[in-house]
C-alpha cells in the first residue's frame, strides 16, 4: 500500500512538471511584422493563434505576395 502511494505521488509530481513545461511552450507569441493595418490582419492573427499559419522565418507574412 505504501509503494502505491509513493508511486502515485511521483506520478503526480511528473504530471505537474510536464504540464507547466507545455504551457510555457504554448505561450510563445508570434509577431508578424508586415500585417499591421492590412485588411486581413485580424483573420491572419486568428489563424496564427490556432497554429494554421506561421509566416516566414524572417518574421514576415507577406499578405499581398503572389502564391
**Cα–Cα distances in Å, from 45 out to 12, 20, 22, 28?**
36, 25, 21, 14
Residue 62 lies in a domain: no
Residue 64 lies in a domain: no
Residue 13 lies in a domain: yes
Q: What is the pLDDT of residues 27-36, one digit of tens each?
A: 566 788 899 9
Domain boundaries, position 44 = 2-50
Q: By the 8 A CB rule, do 32 and 60 touch? A: yes
Whether the pTM exceeds 0.75: the reply is: no
Structural domains in the chain (count): 1
- Rounded to the nearest integer, the mean pLDDT of the chain is 83
Residue 61 lies in a domain: no
Residue 30 lies in a domain: yes
Amino acid at each position: 500500500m505504501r509503494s502505491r502511494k509513493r508511486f502515485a505521488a511521483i506520478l503526480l509530481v511528473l504530471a505537474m512538471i510536464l504540464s507547466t513545461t507545455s504551457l510555457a511552450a504554448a505561450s510563445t507569441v508570434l509577431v508578424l511584422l508586415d500585417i499591421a493595418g492590412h485588411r486581413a490582419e485580424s483573420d491572419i492573427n486568428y489563424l496564427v493563434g490556432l497554429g494554421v499559419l506561421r509566416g516566414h522565418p524572417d518574421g514576415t507574412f507577406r499578405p499581398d505576395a503572389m502564391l
